[in-house]
Amino acid sequence: MDLNELKTRAQKEIRKAKNLKELDKIFKKYLGKKGEISRIFSSLKGLSEKEKKKLGKEANLVKREVEEMIKEKLKELQGKLRKQKIEKEKIDVTRPGKKLGVGHLHPLTLVQREVLEIFQSLGFSVVLGPEVETEWYNFDALNIPKDHPARDFWDTFWLLRNQKIPNHKSQIPNKFKIQNSKFQKLLLRTHTSPVQIRYMEKHSPPLRIVVPGKCFRHEATDASHEIQFYQLECLMVDENVSVANFKAIIEEFLKRFFKTKIEIRLRPSYFPFTEPSFEIDIRGEKKGNWTELLGAGMVHPNVFKAAGINPKNWQGFAFGVGLDRLAMLRYKINDIRLFYSGDLRFLKQF
């Protein structure tokens, strides 16, 4: 057995080893229990003492050298591995970060907030009312009796389980009571006007409120009608409130909301809860076509009575405007259904 040949062979193989697995194989081949070097030691048995000593010494030397070479190679391979791992785990702090999906406000919310801010700056308080309403507040108290044809203006979603709700127990003196049935029917409010009554029952004039909120109508949808929409109700009551006050407030509001002078036109109209009633049309500085904007009027004496306020001492104006309508005019949107479609292509524009 040529020990030198064995050493060179081992050295060559060790040098070529590409990974720990290959190196381990080489270790076993030469230094394992049944490896080539171990076999040399067991072959010593049959030799003379002298030869044993000589060959044993040489074999030991080669063994140590091969061990050393493998150790070196092991260090080299482990170093390489560590470097690769570090390379792989390196964080490039200069790379642009992942964009977080941040939500934003719906156009109707934006418009509602802006409108409320304007009215608050004009001294109006923001008041809310329930979306599920009784027939009393939504209709009767607003001077819309049950069998009156005016009720057909408001296509109503009636709620089925309404028999158990006790009738409206108000502090209203009997002589002012308009309607007195045994039980209240429930419905989804068709307008924000019922909140006028709710508020006046609990607060004495003078008062100025705006009421934003969702309303519902059981009707076919098209580009300008949705079964669900937003209104803003406005009510101002004092000893001497007149149509002139209404005009001043609405003109100021429109100027601030549209950020330009807006011309208004009052057209005679009919609402059961106001007398006189009118429809307001608007047009901008270019004096184009008139656009219908809202319904308004002077609070009807029966409405005051229903809320327990003496119409001889107080008068007021009220109006109701579609917040969707304001948003459509502001953003030049021609289909109200877009607001409720959940279409991100639409919503992302605001």
Reading the block at residue 42, the tokens are 């067991």
**Binding-site member from 297, 302, 303, 314 for ligand DAH (CB under 6 A):** 297
Residue that is written with structure tokens 């003492």 in the block: 49
CB of 104 to ligand DAH, least distance (A): 29
The residue count for binding ligand DAH (CB under 6 A) is: 11
**Binding-site member from 23, 141, 293, 296 for ligand DAH (CB under 6 A):** 296
Q: How far apart are CA 241 and CA 244, in angstroms?
A: 8
Asked if 129 touches ligand DAH (CB under 6 A), the answer is no
Closest by CA position to 233, among listed 221, 248, 215, 245: 215
Q: Tell me, what DSSP letter sits at residue 205? A: S
Q: Which is nearer to ligand DAH, 186 or 250 (CB)?
A: 250
Of 2-41, binders to ligand DAH (CB under 6 A) are none
Asked if 318 touches ligand DAH (CB under 6 A), the answer is yes
Closest by CA position to 194, among listed 132, 277, 113: 132
If you count them, how many residues does the chain have?
A: 350
**Binding-site member from 133, 135, 233, 324 for ligand DAH (CB under 6 A):** 233
Q: Cβ(154)–Cβ(142) under 8 Å?
A: no
**Binding-site member from 194, 212, 295, 316 for ligand DAH (CB under 6 A):** 295
Of 33-41, 304-312, 315-323, 333-341, the segment contacting ligand DAH by CB under 6 A is 315-323
* Torsions phi, psi for 56 (to 5 deg): -60, -45
Residue burial 262-272, b: 16+ Cβ < 10 Å; e: rest: beeebeeeebb
CB of 334 to ligand DAH, least distance (A): 21
Q: How far apart are CA 93 and CA 343, in angstroms?
A: 36
Site string for ligand DAH, 246-285 (x = CB under 6 A): -------------------------x--x-----------
Q: Which residues bind ligand DAH (CB under 6 A)?
A: 191, 193, 233, 271, 274, 295-297, 318-320
